[in-house]
């Protein structure tokens, strides 16, 4: 008797599909989607050239920047929620905490290296925040508090993001399980790597502060 092909939605393939879905969700370039809907210039053509909410804000359109921020955060949250939904339905033996963590990490990879725009994406701060929210409301609040504290004191958005990224694995150590903590450590390293130029600018004293005209 011939072997029956395994359906794609079977428990064997579902973890792979969830991680792939996380990456594809993360690849959605909301900065470009929103600016096109608003009839604005491509955010990659001005400012830092980064397809993210902070650079969209440089256009002067605050609503477009807020919608970009919400879209980038929502896709990170949705990736984690989908994995958690299937874990609740099928059990943790099929969708383990490690798979949920990997799905979140895949969403951040998708944002940083999106397949839809030539693998040249954003820095991942908003998407990481959405992933943190999917993992734990308390983790998200702690990281937002860290970001706000540094941002309000220094007026450096990039420094606030870097500090929040460094703090995230520490918060996760107390709040989450090991797979999520490891995933968060990897995400933090990715966010830091995407901020290399900002770190160089901060050290050189040339990084721009928000809320101040050049």
CA distance 177 to 181: 6
Q: What is the pTM of this model?
A: 0.90
146-204: pLDDT as tens digits: 999 999 999 999 999 999 999 999 999 999 999 999 999 999 999 999 999 999 999 99
Residue 7 in domain: no
Residue 5 falls inside a structural domain:
no
- Answer whether residue 186 is part of any domain: yes
Residue 92 has phi, psi (to 5 degrees) of -75, -10
Could you report the per-residue pLDDT of 16-66, keeping only the tens digit for each? 999 999 999 999 999 999 999 999 999 999 988 999 998 999 899 999 999
Q: Rounded to an integer, what distance in angstroms lies between the CA atom of residue 34 and that of residue 51?
A: 11
Domain annotation covers residue 134: yes
In a domain, 1, yes or no: no
- Give the pLDDT of residue 7: 53
Position 175 in a domain: yes
Residue 210 included in any domain: no
CA gap 105, 134 in Å, rounded: 12
* 2 in a structural domain: no
Structural domain boundaries enclosing 190: 14-204
Number of domains the chain contains: 1
């Amino acid at each position: 008797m011939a072997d029956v092909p395994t359906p794609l939605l079977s428990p064997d393939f579902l973890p792979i599909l969830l991680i792939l879905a996380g990456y594809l969700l993360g690849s959605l370039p909301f900065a470009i989607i929103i600016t096109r809907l608003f009839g604005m210039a491509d955010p990659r053509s001005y400012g830092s050239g980064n397809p993210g909410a902070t650079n969209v804000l440089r256009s002067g359109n605050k609503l477009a920047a807020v919608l970009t921020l919400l879209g980038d955060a929502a896709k990170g949250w949705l990736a984690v929620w989908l994995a958690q939904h299937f874990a609740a339905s099928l059990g943790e033996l099929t969708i383990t905490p490690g798979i949920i963590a990997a799905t979140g990490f895949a969403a951040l990879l998708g944002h940083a290296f999106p397949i839809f725009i030539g693998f040249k994406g954003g820095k991942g701060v908003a998407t990481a925040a959405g992933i943190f929210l999917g993992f734990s409301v308390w983790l998200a609040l702690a990281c937002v508090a860290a970001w706000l504290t540094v941002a309000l004191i220094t007026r450096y958005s990039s420094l606030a993001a870097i500090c929040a990224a460094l703090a995230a694995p520490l918060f996760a150590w107390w709040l989450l399980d090991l797979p999520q903590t490891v995933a968060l450590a990897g995400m933090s390293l990715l966010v830091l790597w995407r901020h290399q130029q900002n770190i160089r600018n901060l050290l050189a004293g040339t990084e721009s502060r928000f809320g101040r005209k050049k």
